[in-house]
Amino acid sequence: MLDGIRRALESVAEALKTRRLSEEEVREHVEEFKLMLISNDVAVEVAERLGEELAERLRLIRVRRFGDGEGEVMELVAGVLDSVIREGSLDDLLRRIREKASMGEPFVILFVGPNGGGKTTTVVKLARLLQRHGFKCLIAASDTFRAGAIEQLQRLASEAGVRVVCQRYGADPAAVAMDTVMSARANRIPVVLIDTAGRTEVDHNLLEEMRKIKRVVGPDLVIYVGDALAGNAAVEQARRFDEYVGVDYIILAKLDADARGGSAISISYVTGKPVLFVGTGQGLDDLEPFTKDLLKRLILGRR
């Protein structure tokens, strides 16, 4: 997992084990570091920012022997990631849900993202996580476009013990979402999660559909679900959804299968949006709150 980013850090750490680098050596290692990041799907603007941070750290480092050699140096080099990562807060999300529930209103989350990015599974994973924290959920099957989408959602939701509101294929996705919100309000269900359609490529009609759902329902949060395996494509897709629809948080699916790690580092910096959760497996419980420490542990090969 994230082996490509780990190798980029290790190449710099190897040079730092025993001595301080000259200015010329700093420049050489920083350029090599940036090229390795870019080759591992880190966006160019992010690689440049990380290169600047690394150069500053290398210039300040003092000659000394590191206590446990490469491990300690890797910790130092991995620290450059702090400047580009924004983390969400599960505690803040739970607090906001409680506040809406105290007013008798459901907390509504709209999920957007391209087809095949793990959006539907992520919706159910989050519903399961929230129910473990005591918040009953209702899911809107607002993907009325993709064949089999409703059945997939119903099957996963049944495993998680979550009810789904659905209509026929071809129905208005905004109407399905609104029906779900009204049902949650009537039954005092505190959370509504809206699953929506994706496309292989982000297109104008999809984005307009998302805008309509957002306008009709007025969600409390819009969450973009991206596929870590998509690399820079996931970063660009997140940027486009944010421009057209407006995104509050990011969930990065399939991080456990991502050997490069570029999107995990790039997506928050490029969009300016915090990463709230990451998918770390195929099971419905494999959704973890995202933190800087979690990402660095994964890169450094720790759990």
Find the CATH number of the domain harbouring 234: 3.40.50.300
pLDDT of residue 25: 75
132 and 67 in a common domain: no
* Burial class of 126 by CB neighbour count within 10 A (0 to 12, 13 to 18, 19+): buried
* Structure tokens that stand for 282 in this block: 């195929």
The pLDDT of residue 163:
97
**What is the pLDDT, as a whole number, of residue 63?**
41
> Is the same domain home to 123 and 63?
no
For residues 251 and 276, the answer to whether their CB atoms sit within 8 Å is: yes
At 70 the pLDDT is 56
For residue 296, what pLDDT band results from cuts at 50, 70 and 90?
confident
Stronger pLDDT, 118 or 7, i.e. the higher one: 118
Mean pLDDT lowest for which of 63-67, 153-157, 276-280? 63-67
Task: Report pLDDT for 2.
Answer: 63
254 and 122 Cβ atoms separated by less than 8 Å: no
Residue 54 has pLDDT above 90, yes or no: no
More confident residue, 247 or 35: 247
240: which 2 tokens? 């486009």
Q: Of the candidates 65, 83, 101, which is a domain's last residue?
A: 83
CB atoms within 10 A of CB 63: 8
Domain count, the chain: 2
Residues 261 and 242 in one domain: yes
pLDDT tens, 137-175? 999 999 998 889 999 999 999 999 999 999 999 999 999
Among residues 54, 83, 112, the one where a domain terminates is: 83
As a whole number, mean pLDDT of residues 16-41 equals 77
Which of residues 85 and 180 earns the better pLDDT score? 180
Q: Per-residue confidence at 65, pLDDT binned at 50, 70, 90?
A: very low
Confidence of residue 106 (pLDDT cuts 50, 70, 90): very high
Do 72 and 108 lie in one domain? The reply is: no
14 and 100 both lie in a single domain: no
Task: Specify whether the CB–CB gap between 97 and 40 falls below 8 A.
Answer: no
Say yes or no to pLDDT of 216 above 70.
yes
Question: Do 164 and 177 touch, CB atoms closer than 8 A?
Answer: no
**Residues of the domain holding 79:** 3-83
